[in-house]
């Protein structure tokens, strides 16, 4: 499934607000071995602008990003109420996903995502709690 152009992971980004754009720019410009090949946002002009900036394609829907054969993995940075639905769609096609917090807006939706991943027998979802690695947050926690 992984594209092997010198082991480059081709990423699709859903949601091009502040967080999604930050992930896309980082993956496109700073993370060795990754490229962003597709983006989607309901704000189509914003998605198109980012796509041009990072030499990616702006696609017409989140599902189009998830199902795109040129996308190896997905970053979900969409509104919270869409996280579970989009994570389940990624699981359905077997694509790894970095999902911004929260996993889901409700406990039952989170359980549904967890159950679907367990049923696959593979860990494909990574939840984005990056602040726990932020030096300022670590220092604050260690001072308590």
Tell me how far the alpha carbon of residue 89 is from its chain's centroid: 12
Q: Which of 21-30, 95-104, 127-136 has the lowest mean pLDDT?
A: 127-136
Q: Is the pLDDT of residue 23 over 90?
A: yes
Q: What is the per-residue pLDDT for 3?
A: 52
Q: Flag whether the pTM goes above 0.75.
A: yes
Assess contact for 64 and 40: CB atoms under 8 A.
Answer: yes
Q: What is the per-residue pLDDT for 132?
A: 67
Q: What is the per-residue pLDDT for 128?
A: 87
Residue 3 lies in a domain: no
Return d(Cα 99, Cα 83) in angstroms, integer: 7
Percent of the chain with pLDDT over 70: 93
Q: Which residues contact 2 (CB under 8 A, 6 or more apart)?
A: 9, 72
Residue 44 lies in a domain: yes
Q: What is the CATH number of the domain that holds 80?
A: 3.40.50.720
Confidence of residue 2 (pLDDT cuts 50, 70, 90): low
Confidence of residue 6 (pLDDT cuts 50, 70, 90): low
Residue 1 lies in a domain: no
Tell which wins on pLDDT, 125 or 136: 125
Residue 121 lies in a domain: yes
3-state helix, strand, coil in the chain (%, to 5): 50, 20, 35
Residue range(s) defining the domain that contains residue 60: 9-143
Degrees to nearest 5, angle at CA 85 with 43 and 116: 150
Q: How many domains does the chain have?
A: 1
Residue 53 lies in a domain: yes
Residue 27 lies in a domain: yes
Confidence of residue 7 (pLDDT cuts 50, 70, 90): confident
């Amino acid at each position: 499934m992984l594209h092997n152009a010198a082991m480059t992971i081709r990423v699709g980004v859903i949601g091009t607000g502040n967080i999604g754009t930050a992930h896309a720019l980082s993956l496109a410009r700073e993370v060795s071995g990754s490229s962003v090949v597709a983006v989607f946002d309901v704000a189509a002009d914003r998605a198109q602008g980012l796509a041009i900036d990072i030499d990616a394609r702006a696609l017409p829907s989140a599902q189009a990003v998830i199902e795109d054969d040129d996308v190896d993995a997905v970053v979900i940075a969409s509104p919270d109420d869409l996280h579970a639905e989009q994570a389940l769609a990624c699981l359905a096609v077997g694509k790894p996903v970095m999902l911004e917090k929260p996993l889901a807006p409700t406990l039952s939706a989170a359980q549904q995502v967890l159950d679907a991943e367990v049923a696959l027998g593979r860990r494909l979802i990574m939840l984005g709690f990056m602040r726990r690695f932020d030096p300022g947050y670590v220092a604050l926690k260690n001072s308590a």
